[in-house]
A = this chain, B = another copy of it.
Amino acid sequence: MAPKVSEEYKKKRERELIEAARKVFIEKGFVHTSMQDIMDKAGISRGALYSYFDNIDHVFIEVLKYDDQKDIQYFVPSDEGPLWLQLKNWVEEQQYYIEAIDHTLLYAKAEFFLSSNYPNDKDNFPYIFERYNKTTEAIEVVLNEGMRKGEFRPQQSTRSIARYLITFINGLMLDTFQLGHERTKVKDQLSVLLFSLEKLINPNTQNEE
């Protein structure tokens, strides 16, 4: 009379399944991935897969959590150097995330949040709001810190500016899905963003009004 495997083992197995599923989603996106695809990639039987996950939405949600957990690209300010440079760095880094689109979940995520049945009861599905809020808040914190230090003197609310930044980056991603990154000119666009961000944030270096 013994439960055959430890809790640990089950966790580990589940993680393997999630990793396999993640690969499939990156390759094929969300809409065109079936449970069968995941079984094939993971080398697991139908019954076993269904004993871990109820359906494909469930699988995707778990993949999302897993991915979020390891891929923290939130802005984390440090004490060293001017905040403006840190912010600039962060924006420039986004280029690599966007251009690596074929090797990330970005595409599948966009599909999922657009087309899955799951988020239809949008209000019951806070994930997407939370993520948006977390990201903008992280930016907002930096902007506020910059204000406190007297480095930034924005004329708009820091929240608005943070939202603006995130929205633009979302736009870049969408364009990149549809046009490819060469046509989108990601780098060029990010440099225009930086230019205007500087104006938004730090008008005192331009003129005193």
Contacts and interface: CB of A to CB of B under 8 A. Distances in A.
22 contacts: A31-B31, A31-B114, A32-B115, A111-B114, A114-B177, A115-B115, A128-B179, A129-B179, A132-B178, A132-B183, A155-B195, A160-B185, A161-B192, A163-B188, A164-B193, A167-B171, A168-B171, A170-B171, A171-B171, A171-B174, A196-B197, A199-B199
Contacts of A156: 192, 195
Nearest to A155: B195
Contacts of A168: 167-168, 171
B207 A200 contact: no
Given A32-B117, A160-B192, 13 more contacts: A29-B114, A29-B115, A128-B179, A129-B183, A132-B175, A156-B195, A160-B188, A164-B189, A167-B184, A168-B168, A169-B171, A170-B171, A192-B200
Nearest to A115: B31
Nearest to A167: B171
A203 B180 CA distance: 32
A117 B28 CA distance: 11
Nearest to A119: B178
A170 B184 CA distance: 12
A5 to B, nearest CB: 38
A138 B85 CA distance: 35
A206 interface: yes
A172 interface: yes
